[in-house]
A = this chain, B = another copy of it.
Amino acid sequence: MTRLDTVIDRLKAQRSVLNAAAETLADTPGHILELGLGNGRTYDHLRHLFPDRDIYVFDMEVASHPDCRPDPAHLFLGPMVETLVSAADKLGPNAALVHADIGYGDRAATIRNVESLGPRIPALMRTGGIVLCDQSLDAIKALTAIALPADIAPGRYHAYRRE
């Protein structure tokens, strides 16, 4: 596998898990949380899948394509370890879907990020909501692992249900 192969696999897996979650959540109300805006590709896909829902985005700053920018009312800018807490105060436990791409190239930094952000996610979610994450959140007791679409390679993505 070259890095070109790897990124194609990763993006296809991301699209597959998002599309599957949209079907699963068709009858589950609630808003959408996107942890990490980046260039806005995933945000663009989310607003296509969930055109009638509020999509709140968390990032340090807005660096996305100009046409993939949430309005200020749907942005939580700053360190996520802080904004996830203020968002829980403001929005309550009402998210139907959390998509969290929180890994880095650096393994140690990824572990620290998962340990600091993961425990803050359940307070934002409604029962039956889904978390999709590029990292394992198995350590979070309020989340139960659920099956991924059949085309996802093991370990590529992680999916959970908020109990």
User: Which A residues are within 8 Å of any B CB, using their own CB?
Assistant: 2-5, 7-8, 11-12, 14-15, 18, 39-42, 44-45, 48, 65, 68, 105
Contact = CB atoms under 8 A, between A and B. Distances in A.
Q: Can you list the 3 inter-chain pairs with the closest CB atoms, starting with the nearest?
A: A4-B45, A3-B44, A3-B41
A100 B84 CA distance: 42
B105 A2 contact: no
Given A3-B40, A3-B44, 17 more contacts: A2-B41, A2-B45, A2-B48, A3-B39, A3-B65, A4-B11, A4-B14, A4-B18, A4-B42, A5-B15, A5-B45, A7-B41, A8-B8, A8-B11, A8-B15, A11-B11, A65-B105
A3 B3 CA distance: 20
B44 A2 contact: yes
Contacts of A5: 15, 45
B4 A44 contact: yes
A141 to B, nearest CB: 32
A4 B41 contact: yes
A43 to B, nearest CB: 8
Contacts of A65: 3, 105
Contacts of A8: 8, 11-12, 15
Contacts of A3: 39-41, 44-45, 65, 68
Nearest to A49: B2
29 contacts: A2-B41, A2-B44, A2-B45, A2-B48, A3-B39, A3-B40, A3-B41, A3-B44, A3-B45, A3-B65, A3-B68, A4-B11, A4-B14, A4-B15, A4-B18, A4-B41, A4-B42, A4-B44, A4-B45, A5-B15, A5-B45, A7-B11, A7-B41, A8-B8, A8-B11, A8-B12, A8-B15, A11-B11, A65-B105
